[in-house]
């Protein structure tokens, strides 16, 4: 008895899961938009089916059911049809040109009765059969002619319609453009910068590589930009699945299978929004923010963040469309340093300079150059280390340097660490600033960044910070004639925040403002009266 019943039950459950729905229109099998594509302020809850810029193609009931709702508006979805299927799911059609004659007659009666073009009607007992014509494609509401088509589950949550169809022609791999690596806190750097860094992706055969070396330290988040396409159409559509592997182990996976309308406005958390705000480029995160409530992720894998310590890390990013066309990025993150050579003291005697320097511990080679400008430096042929002591993770060196030419007042140190990373730090030997410093202050979500161009270190260069009644001094991270400082937003308190950067009597940067910290999932308010 059981030998016959168990196989029957198994076959029945598989059949129910893989419902054989009819394709909703005779317009085409081509997509112009995919499920969960980015839209300003929300996710796209459907697939858009191309109608080749024409109207009037037939729309069919994809399964037996009843017409549950008709909504008509000059905006948004335009003329919309909702069918409740016999299995409890719903099929939704937007931007329709018109309905069947019987439906049009009833709709006209209701519009006249309500004296309004815009109506919402819930018919009672209006059955439809699979394959029955229910409407025609159009361009009502918004956009060019197309059919916006959704399948929703029994709780009215949109499902990826491609789960039920295999007739979309797609053998094209997603196209990837750039990788973005985002430092997650004030102790994390990428290629000596606190700011997020972009890397071009170069296709070589079936994989993408990064030609530029990536040196990093601390906690990082990765994000990728690009788009997908399908056969026979030029439209750029969204990705379906993203996977990040570190040392061959998956640490992040996301797939757009189901959408909850209550979380659709979290769409800007799924991308790295500060970059979109600045450049309009969308980078899709391969990590999960603590306040992210979206349901697309395999949360058993963790948050996807990468922690760089002393070892090289291999990573692999796989981007898929729904039909398993894959594009892969392979790269390496090399350990880097978050410290440049810093000048503590100096004195000049004849043609020699005596320098007291703080040098990172992982030093492989150290060279010096001198000159009267940073673009005309000559290598110093002679220097000697007079004293050398280890202070924690740094070297304190007392160095005698013979200038390349008498009268040089800029010395540039170039050190290479054990990872092959070279860092240049120019230093002034007098207090006569020859170049105009350019300053910039930007907020990158969780971090406030100060950056300075044409900045050169000196013995007395100091950044003074006043905040909430407290005072502290700090040194800038000066590399390659540029300087950075990061102030984490989590340190914001009520009260003024002031930054003052000066070298003896020269003030390069002086600003005061009042920051306000807004946190996710908390009710907060802030009123201000200036621009």
Q: Is the pLDDT of residue 465 over 60?
A: yes
pLDDT at residue 45, as a whole number: 98
pLDDT at residue 360, as a whole number: 78
The per-residue pLDDT for range 166-215, each reduced to its tens digit, is 999 999 999 999 999 999 998 899 998 889 999 999 999 889 999 999 99
Domain ranges of the chain: 21-164, 175-335, 342-428, 438-513
At residue 12 the predicted structure's pLDDT band, cuts being 50, 70 and 90, is very low
Tokens of 351: 């043609």
Q: pLDDT above 70 covers what percent of the chain? A: 94
| C-alpha separations of 497 from 341, 465, 488, 514 in Å | 28, 7, 12, 6
What number does CATH give the domain 342-428? 2.60.40.2440
The per-residue pLDDT for range 342-389, each reduced to its tens digit, is 777 788 887 788 988 888 777 788 899 999 888 889 999 889 999 888
Spatial CB neighbours of 170, under 8 Å, sequence gap ≥ 6: 230, 231, 321, 322, 323, 325
Mean pLDDT, all residues of the chain:
89
Q: Is the pLDDT of residue 5 over 60?
A: no
**Class of domain 21-164 (CATH, top level):** mainly beta
Q: pLDDT above 90 covers what percent of the chain? A: 60
Q: Is the pLDDT of residue 309 over 50?
A: yes
Q: Is the pLDDT of residue 1 over 50?
A: no
At residue 13 the predicted structure's pLDDT band, cuts being 50, 70 and 90, is very low
Q: Is the pLDDT of residue 477 over 80?
A: no
The per-residue pLDDT for range 26-61, each reduced to its tens digit, is 999 999 999 999 999 999 999 999 999 999 999 999
At residue 147 the predicted structure's pLDDT band, cuts being 50, 70 and 90, is very high
Spatial CB neighbours of 518, under 8 Å, sequence gap ≥ 6: 524, 526
Higher pLDDT, 497 or 420: 497
Q: Are 264 and 286 in contact (CB under 8 A)?
A: no
Q: Do domains 342-428 and 438-513 have the same CATH topology?
A: yes
Spatial CB neighbours of 369, under 8 Å, sequence gap ≥ 6: 377, 378, 379, 380, 404, 411, 412, 414
The per-residue pLDDT for range 105-139, each reduced to its tens digit, is 999 999 999 999 999 999 999 999 999 999 999 99
pLDDT at residue 95, as a whole number: 98
Spatial CB neighbours of 66, under 8 Å, sequence gap ≥ 6: 83, 84, 123, 125, 126, 127, 128
3-state SS, residue 158: strand
pLDDT at residue 482, as a whole number: 80
Cite the DSSP H helix spans in 56-127: 101-114
Higher pLDDT, 421 or 267: 267
Q: Is the pLDDT of residue 420 over 90?
A: no
Query: How far apart (Å, rounded) are the C-alpha atoms in residues 218 and 198?
Result: 17
pLDDT at residue 8, as a whole number: 39
Q: Give the residue from 33, 92, 34 showing the smallest Cα distance to 62.
A: 92
pLDDT at residue 391, as a whole number: 75
Region of 476 please: left (phi>0), alpha (psi -120 to 50) or beta.
beta
* Of the ranges 261-265, 369-373, 487-491, the best mean pLDDT one: 261-265
CATH of 438-513, one of 3.30.980.10, 3.30.70.1060, 2.60.40.10, 1.10.357.10: 2.60.40.10
pLDDT at residue 528, as a whole number: 75
Higher pLDDT, 531 or 131: 131
Q: What pairing do the DSSP bridges indicate for beta strands 313-320 and 241-246?
A: antiparallel
DSSP per-residue letters across 103-118 = HHHHHHHHHHHHT-S-
Q: Give the residue from 458, 383, 380, 400 showing the smallest Cα distance to 426.
A: 458
pLDDT at residue 2, as a whole number: 41
Region of 187 please: left (phi>0), alpha (psi -120 to 50) or beta.
alpha
pLDDT at residue 65, as a whole number: 98
Higher pLDDT, 439 or 15: 439
pLDDT at residue 503, as a whole number: 82
pLDDT at residue 66, as a whole number: 98
The per-residue pLDDT for range 313-337, each reduced to its tens digit, is 999 999 999 999 999 999 999 988 6
pLDDT at residue 432, as a whole number: 57
Place of tokens 């009260």: 495
pLDDT at residue 180, as a whole number: 98
Average pLDDT (18-22) is 83
Place of tokens 């839209």: 39
Tokens of 445: 């979500």
Query: How far apart (Å, rounded) are the C-alpha atoms in residues 102 and 113?
Result: 17
The per-residue pLDDT for range 385-413, each reduced to its tens digit, is 998 888 776 788 899 999 898 888 888 88
Q: Give the residue from 274, 31, 21 showing the smallest Cα distance to 131.
A: 21
Cite the DSSP H helix spans in 248-402: 267-270, 273-279
Average pLDDT (241-251) is 98
Q: Is the pLDDT of residue 14 over 50?
A: no
3-state SS, residue 180: strand
């Amino acid at each position: 008895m059981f030998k016959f019943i168990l196989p029957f039950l198994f076959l029945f459950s598989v059949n129910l899961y893989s419902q054989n729905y009819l394709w909703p229109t005779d317009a085409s099998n081509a997509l112009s938009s995919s499920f969960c594509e980015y839209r300003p302020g929300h996710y796209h809850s459907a697939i858009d089916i191309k109608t080749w810029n024409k109207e009037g193609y037939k729309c069919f009931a994809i399964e037996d059911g009843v017409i549950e709702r008709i909504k008509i508006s000059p905006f948004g979805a335009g003329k919309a049809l909702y069918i409740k299927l016999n299995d409890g799911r719903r099929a939704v059609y937007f931007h329709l040109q018109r309905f069947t004659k019987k439906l049009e007659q009833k709709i006209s009666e209701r519009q006249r009765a309500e004296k309004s073009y815009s109506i919402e009607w819930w018919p009672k007992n209006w059955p439809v059969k699979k394959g029955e014509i229910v409407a025609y494609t159009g361009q009502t509401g918004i956009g060019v002619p197309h059919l916006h088509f959704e399948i929703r589950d029994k709780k009215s949550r949109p499902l990826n319609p491609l789960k039920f169809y295999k007739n979309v022609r797609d053998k094209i791999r997603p196209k990837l453009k750039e990788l973005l690596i985002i430092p997650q806190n004030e102790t994390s750097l990428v290629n000596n910068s606190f700011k997020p860094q972009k890397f071009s992706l170069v296709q070589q055969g079936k994989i993408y590589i990064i030609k530029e070396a990536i040196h990093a330290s601390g906690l990082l988040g990765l994000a990728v930009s690009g788009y997908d396409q399908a056969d026979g159409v030029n439209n750029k559509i969204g990705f379906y699945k993203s996977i990040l592997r570190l040392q061959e182990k998956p640490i992040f996976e996301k797939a757009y299978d189901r959408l909850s309308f209550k979380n659709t406005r979290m769409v800007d958390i799924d991308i790295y929004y500060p970059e979109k705000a600045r450049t309009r480029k969308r980078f899709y995160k391969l990590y999960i923010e603590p306040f992210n409530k979206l349901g697309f992720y395999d949360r058993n894998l963790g948050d996807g963040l990468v922690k760089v310590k002393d070892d090289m890390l291999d990573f692999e990013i796989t981007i898929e469309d729904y039909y398993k066309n894959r594009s892969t990025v392979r790269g390496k993150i090399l350990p880097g340093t978050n410290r440049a050579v810093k000048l503590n003291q100096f004195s000049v005697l004849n043609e020699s300079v005596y320098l007291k320097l703080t040098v990172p511990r992982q030093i492989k080679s150290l060279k010096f150059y001198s000159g009267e400008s940073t673009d005309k430096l000559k290598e110093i042929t002679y220097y000697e280390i007079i004293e050398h002591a280890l202070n924690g993770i740094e070297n304190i060196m007392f160095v005698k340097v013979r200038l390349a030419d008498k009268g040089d007042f800029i010395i540039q140190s170039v050190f290479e660490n054990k990872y092959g990373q070279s860092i240049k730090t120019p230093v002034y030997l007098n207090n006569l600033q020859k170049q105009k410093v350019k300053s910039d202050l930007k907020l990158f979500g969780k971090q406030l960044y100060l950056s300075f161009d044409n900045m050169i270190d000196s013995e007395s260069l100091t950044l003074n910070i006043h905040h909430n009644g407290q005072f502290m001094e700090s040194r800038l991270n000066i590399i390659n004639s540029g300087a950075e400082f990061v102030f984490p937003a989590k340190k914001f308190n009520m009260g003024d925040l002031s930054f003052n950067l000066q070298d003896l009597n020269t003030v390069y940067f002086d600003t005061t403002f009042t920051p306000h910290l807004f946190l996710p999932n908390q009710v907060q308010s802030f009123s201000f009266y200036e621009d």
